[in-house]
């Protein structure tokens, strides 16, 4: 179904066990991914999973969005890891994401798309907009032939702002350990 033509009545509502509560049709094949994320991380009340063109382009190319180049991205999203490929509708799609979920709010799904989490639907969607905007800007910078990254001192100042705002996701490649 085209998301542009969806109405509230088109939504499928399920409980935390995947049992359909309301709606026409069947839940998404990726419902289990959403449910596992809700179970794994308290405070996440919304998952936004899309296939935006620039972010998905990086996911298809196998390139994570981990360059520290835009302060608003560093502050709001932190690190955006590339999650290994997994078949749609299977555990292999979301299992590699779960260990990263503790410290990250945005993810690229290899050869698939992007995913963000938030306290509510607006928070998760806002993060997705930032992710796609960042991917677009980074794509343009790479086409221009130069990507200037923030230095250690600049990153320390941004890390202090993240702490001040109570944001949990990590910066740099710390999410791997």
What positions carry a catalytic annotation?
Answer: 30
State the pairing for strand pair 82-83/106-109.
parallel
End-to-end CA distance of the chain: 39
CA distance 69 to 60: 21
CA atoms within 13 A on the CB side of 30: 17
Q: What are the CA-CA distances from residue 45 to residues 28, 58, 88 (Å)?
A: 17, 26, 22
Backbone angles phi, psi at 171, to 5 degrees: -115, 155
Angle at 122 between CA 120 and CA 123, to 5 degrees: 65
């Amino acid at each position: 179904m085209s998301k542009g033509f969806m109405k509230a009545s088109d939504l499928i509502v399920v409980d935390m066990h995947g049992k359909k509560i309301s709606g026409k049709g069947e839940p998404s094949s990726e419902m289990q991914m959403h449910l596992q994320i809700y179970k794994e991380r308290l405070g996440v009340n919304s998952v936004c999973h899309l296939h935006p063109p620039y972010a998905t382009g990086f996911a298809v190319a196998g390139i994570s969005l981990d360059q520290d180049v835009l302060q608003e991205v560093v502050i709001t999203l932190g690190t955006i890891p590339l999650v290994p490929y997994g078949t749609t509708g299977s555990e292999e799609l979301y299992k590699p994401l779960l260990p990263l979920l503790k410290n990250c709010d945005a993810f690229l799904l290899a050869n698939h798309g992007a995913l963000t989490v938030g306290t509510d639907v607006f928070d998760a969607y806002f993060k997705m907009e930032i992710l796609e905007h960042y991917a677009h800007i980074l794509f343009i910078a790479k086409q221009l032939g130069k990507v200037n990254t923030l230095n250690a001192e600049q990153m320390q100042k941004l890390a202090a702002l993240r702490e001040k705002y109570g944001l949990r996701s990590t910066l740099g490649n710390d999410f791997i350990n």
